[in-house]
Amino acid sequence: MEGRPEDITEINQESTIMNAVVHDRFHRKVWAFKSDFTGALAKWLVKQSPYVVPDNLSLCLEEFHARLDEIAVFDTAGMAEIGLLDLNKNVNEILESIPVIMALNEPKSGHNENVFVSRYHDGPSNPDDDFIDIMAVAQNITCEFAERADAELWLDSQRRAAE
């Protein structure tokens, strides 16, 4: 980037402030039931799968559900409060430690070439060449909880404004 050094400093400061504002919401905590976590995993595995139903979906959900106590401390009702930054890290670590889930991260065709496959941009292709990006699944789960928290805050503000 060309320009005066002070211009670059100003741009970097603006970028830092923007990132802090945009990502400040991820420093919050959210409340969720165990079924919210399992449901979010099911949703994102299905949405990101090149197939209608990913292989071993039930087994993936059962193994993930069995490990949920590693994400947060759940009360007797199965509910926990967790920070969104911790959620992303913990979900990703658990997903990456479950072999049946990580199998979805590999193309069925077995190719290990650096090939970009996109059913979204390139149209229909061999689904066996595609895979589910497990890190993206963890990120999407976290974003889903953040979006829900944003919606709850907005709805609460609307309710209070109407009172």
**What is the pairing mode between strands 79-83 and 29-33?**
antiparallel
In whole angstroms, give the CA distance from residue 28 to residue 148. Answer: 12
Q: What is the mean pLDDT of residues 58-68?
A: 97
For residues 11 and 92, which has the higher predicted lDDT (pLDDT)? 92
Would you kindly state where each structural domain of the chain is located, as residue ranges?
28-111+124-162
pLDDT at position 122 over 60: no
For residue range 27-40, list pLDDT tens digits in order: 788 899 999 999 99
**Residue from 95, 47, 45, 96 nearest 68 by CA:** 95
Q: How many CB atoms lie within 10 A of CB 56?
A: 15
Average pLDDT, the chain: 81
Contacts of 38 (CB under 8 A, 6+ apart): 61, 64, 65, 68
In whole angstroms, give the CA distance from residue 87 to residue 139. Answer: 9
Sign of CA dihedral 107, 111, 115, 121: negative
Count of alpha carbons within 13 Å of 74, Cβ hemisphere only? Answer: 17
- Block residue for tokens 């404004």: 161
For residues 163 and 62, which has the higher predicted lDDT (pLDDT)? 62
pLDDT at position 98 over 60: yes
Q: What is the mean pLDDT of residues 29-57?
A: 93
What pLDDT score was predicted for residue 121? 53
For residues 113 and 11, which has the higher predicted lDDT (pLDDT)? 113
What pLDDT score was predicted for residue 86? 86
Contacts of 112 (CB under 8 A, 6+ apart): none
pLDDT at position 144 over 60: yes
Q: How many CB atoms lie within 10 A of CB 30?
A: 18
